[in-house]
Amino acid sequence: MQKQQSKVDNEYFAARCRENGLRITPQRMAIYRMLAGSRDHPSADAVFRRIREEFPSISYDTVNRTLLTFARIGLAEIVDGPGGPRRFDLRTEDHHHFHCRKCGRIVDFQSADYDRLQIPSEIRDRFTVLDKKVVLSGLCDRCIS
């Protein structure tokens, strides 16, 4: 019984695959649905272990390679974190992160103020900026001892 979020959008998924010349396979669909139903920025391994319950023949590789492919075509994003395993998220509307230094949990939040931030011209003139995110870090409620 998967907790599904309303984010799942098979049309959108299929369109993105087609426009990038990617075939629509059962593995890719399962991985997309699993990501859409996860709120916790899972690693490739976490996605693999969850998917295997409903798709036992899938391999870790396929999961990992598919997640990288999704990131490459902009369907998913690689979440910034303090090293360690790469973690993934579905690319969605603007959101920001709070990151717990102790347990590694990442919590999303929205902020209209943060969304309105301008890019400094020093950066805008030199680089192509594709994303803007505020990252707060500290200790989460579970970790304050």
- List contacts with DNA (CB under 7 A): 21-28, 43-45, 57-62, 64-66, 68, 83-86
Q: How far is the CB of 57 from DNA (least distance, A)?
A: 5
Q: Are 81 and 60 in contact (CB under 8 A)?
A: no
Cα–Cα distance between 25 and 63 in angstroms, integer? 12
- Dihedral of CA 114/91/60/8: which sign? positive
Which range in 20-28, 32-40, 54-62, 134-142 contacts its own copies by CB under 8 A? 134-142
The helix-helix angle for 26-36 and 60-72 (nearest 10°) equals 70
Tell me if residue 8 falls in helix, strand or coil: coil
Among the listed residues 52, 11, 18, 15, the one whose alpha carbon sits nearest the alpha carbon of residue 34: 52
Which range in 17-25, 33-41, 54-62, 114-122 contacts its own copies by CB under 8 A? 114-122
* Torsion angles phi and psi, residue 108, rounded to 5: -85, 150
Q: How far is the CB of 46 from DNA (least distance, A)?
A: 9
Q: Is 130 among the residues that bind its own copies (CB under 8 A)? A: yes
Residues 47-86 as x/- pattern, contact with its own copies by CB under 8 A: -------------------------------xxxxxxxxx
Q: How far is the CB of 20 from its own copies (least distance, A)?
A: 17
| Interface with its own copies (CB under 8 A) | 78-87, 98-101, 107, 109, 111, 113-114, 117-120, 122-123, 126-141, 144
